[in-house]
Amino acid sequence: MNRVDCLKDPHLGIYQEVIQTDLLRKIVIFKDLSQKSLSIIEKRIQTLELKKGEQIISEAEVAKGVYFVHSGAVKLTKQDENGNEIIVCVKQEGDVFAEASLFTKRTEFYPATATMLQDGKIFFLDKLELERDLFNHPELSMQMISYMSDALREMTSQLRDVALLDVYAKTVKSLERLGNKFNNDLNRWDIEIPLTIQEFATVVGTTRESVSRVFSKLKKDGIIDMKSRKIIIRDWCTLCTLLDREY
């Protein structure tokens, strides 16, 4: 049923609008906005229903807008000089990506390729329209600034870990970081991370063989498992105390 059909019945139309704005509140920068502000943004949102493996944007493509993860997960990747894929970060439900293209005077390109890690729903907002919304709605601007600040802090922490920690510590830290992202139900058992060992190794910044050695130890201790191209954290509490005990 489309919007025109809904508006034939005013009560149904209101119901549909409430449902849509509730969906938008799952996005971090929209969750605290007023109903009025959300209603304005809702009219401009484009919704993409995508399958695992589908590409959303490609590196060096002219940036047309900003994307929001409503459900599923997205990996952002770059290629090294040999054409190998490196995962820069993973975006989960509520996250924003391609926001770096905002408020630039020159033609901006997407800095990374975005690909679905799981089936899901992605929202898209045109760059110019979102910039106008940010100018006109201070509450939205503050949410975006806060989100970008948190993302920068996380990236700085990740770069520090890559530069200073050994492979074991980097692997455990990365498992903690991704476990927090995918632990939607605040569960302590069986947290699924939809990455292969090879993909996870690019997140850590090391080789597949090095990660495999650490994983073998963690699997032997009952902390993680591998199944159907996924990493499963079996014992979250123990994982989070490993570095306290061993470092």
- Confirm if 176 and 242 have CB atoms less than 8 A apart: no
pLDDT value at position 3?
33
Domains of the chain, earliest start first: 44-160 (2.60.120.10), 165-246 (1.10.10.10)
The percentage of the chain sitting over the pLDDT mark of 90, rounded to a whole number, equals 53
Q: Where are the beta strands (DSSP E) in the chain?
A: 46-50, 55-57, 65-69, 74-79, 85-91, 96-97, 113-116, 120-126, 191-193, 224-227, 230-233
Residue type at 221 in one-letter notation? D
The whole-model pTM stands at 0.81
Q: What share of the chain in percent tops pLDDT 70?
A: 88
For position 77, what pLDDT does the model report?
Answer: 96
pLDDT at 33: 83
Residue 10, pLDDT score: 38
Which DSSP letter does residue 190 get? -
Residue segments in the chain with a per-residue pLDDT below the cut of 50: 1-19
Classify burial at 20, counting beta carbons within 10 Å of its beta carbon; exposed 0-12, middle 13-18, buried 19 or more: middle
Compute the distance between CA of residue 197 and CA of residue 112 in angstroms, rounded to an integer: 21
